[in-house]
Structures are given as C-alpha cells and as structure tokens.
Chain A
Amino acid sequence: MSRPDFVPPVERVDNSDVDPLGTFDDGAGPKFRLNFEPEERDLLIRLLGEMKDLLTSEATEATAPLLHRLFPPAFHDDPEKEAEYQRLMREELVTSRVVSVDLVTAMLTADPDTGRLADLSEPDTMAFMQSLNAVRLVLGTMLDITDDETAEQADIDDAHEFQLYGYLGWLLEWTVQSLSETA
C-alpha cells in the first residue's frame, strides 16, 4: 500500500481555500459537495468512460493485466472453485462497477441551468470513492506500479501519467478523509 503524502499536481483555479470535497450537514445527515473545476470534471468523466469501456470489452493482450487486477482470483489454489466463482460472480462484479461508473458520471455532470453539481449523500460519496479508486488502480497497473519501490518512484516521477496518478491519489485521500470525519 502507499502512503498519502501527495502534493496536488494539478493547479486549481479560484478555489484555493475551498476543499475539493466539502462536507456539511443539512440536518438530514452528512452531505458532500464536489468543488471541481469543469476541467477536472471532464477529466474524471473521461477516465470513468475509459474504465467502462475496459470493463465491458473482451480482454486483449494489453488489457488482460488490468482486468486481472479489477477481477482478482478468489481461490488461489483451487482452479475448480475459482472457475465457479468467476462464472457466478464475474458478471455481477462487472455490473456493479458499471452501475457505479454511470452513477458517478451523472454526479460529475453539472445541472445545465445552474452550472453546478448536485450535493452528494454519503452512499453517493462512497460510490464516488469506489470508482475513483478503481480508476487509480487501473492507471497504477498500467504504470507498472508493482511494489513499494515503484510506488515511491511514482510519487516523484513528473511525467504526465504519474502526475495524473498523484492527482487521483490526492483526491481519493480527500474523499476518504471526508467520509471518515463524518462517520
């Protein structure tokens, strides 16, 4: 696992004093507000779309390791039970992930009248966290982050993909902390 000592790699405009994920309570439980710039929303929506394509397409040589990480084996030393698990659960897992991606994509789509995003409930925010984590996992796997050494290297590499990986980690950390504080 990696430690959350990220520096925000993406310059934020006009909201330096606003949390990326603001929390408040409207009397009916915790609510969460995504204070994202349009470019951030577009970026996240694009990444979610790419993950949905990955989830719903046949594995190729390039995507097999990514799918393996998204759908890891449940039984390491029992091929028969593993085949059964994949047969029974794989489709359900794909569906669950796709439903979550669609939900989060809608959350990131601004109201055409107000230009704002709707405030989120706690379950919405958990879905956001789950999908954000899955996107980061896919990117990290593509970047060959396979051990603590490569993970540390990823924190200091400033190539675009590594900056994106750092940004997703930073945002995920915000999300986890916001959810933990309201729990």
Chain B
Amino acid sequence: MGGCCGQNGDVPTTLEPVRVEEPDVDDELANDKPWVVIVWNDPINLMSYVTYVLKSLFGYSDDKATALMLDVHHKGKAAVAHGNREEAEMHVFRLHEHSLWASMEHDV
C-alpha cells in the first residue's frame, strides 16, 4: 500500500493551540458511536436457516449471507450489521424474533 497521509509541505512546524469546532450535540449522541450487531454460533439452528434469515432480514445476496453464516459456524461469531444504537437494537430484536443468538456492542 502506498503512503496515505499528507505531504511534507502540509506538516505543521509550530505547536500553536488550534481552535477546534465542537459538534453541537448532546453527550448521549456524542457517545453513540456506531454499533455492531453480532450473531453467535449455536449448535441448534440449522445452517440453511441462518443463511435464509440473514438474506431475508438484511437483503444480503446468497453469497454474502452464506459467507457470514460460515463465519458464525467456524469462528464462533460474525458481525452481520452496523448502525446507530436504535438501528442496531432493531436488528437485534428481529434476529431474536427469528431465534438467532444475537447481541450488539460498540464498534471499535
């Protein structure tokens, strides 16, 4: 991979304080980093069922849903969706409706 960040001419040569614009949002929103929705492996749900649910809930292609299902199966879990807290909670809820072992955590 080539270099990515700036050119020599852009490097600041002084350490003067810089005024930073704070985003005008409240703390709760500012802390609402993107969330990731995880599906965990379990020995009961059928592989075909998990693939079908991922396709129908998220509109994933057969290939993508199958790859995610295999990640769950072989690695124990897979990140199946991202979003803000509200979106992630809705995804988790719908996965729970379909009896998949789903949870959510901050995307780090």
Contact = CB atoms under 8 A, between A and B. Distances in A.
Contacts of A176: 46, 48-49, 52
A151 B47 CA distance: 13
B105 interface: yes
- Name A's interface SS: helix
Interface stretch (A23-31, A72-80, A107-115, A156-164): A72-80
A93 B90 CA distance: 11
Contacts of A129: 49, 52
Q: Size band of the B side of the interface?
A: 20 to 34
A140 B98 CA distance: 15
Nearest to A151: B43
A1 B47 contact: yes
B89 interface: yes
Interface string B29-62: 0000000000001111111111010011000000
A140 B44 contact: yes
Nearest to A175: B49
Given A74-B89, A137-B44, A141-B44, A179 B99 contact: no
Contacts of B44: 1-2, 136-137, 140-141, 145, 151
A4 B89 contact: no
A134 interface: yes
Interface in A1-32: 1-4
A137 B45 contact: yes
Interface string A140-181: 110001111011000000000000000001001100110110
Contact of B43 (A2, A96, A130): A2
A42 interface: no
Contacts of B104: 74-75
Interface of A: 1-4, 69-77, 85, 89, 92-93, 96-97, 126, 129-130, 133-134, 136-137, 140-141, 145-148, 150-151, 169, 172-173, 176-177, 179-180, 183
12 contacts: A72-B102, A72-B103, A73-B103, A74-B103, A93-B93, A129-B52, A130-B99, A133-B99, A136-B44, A146-B43, A176-B52, A177-B48
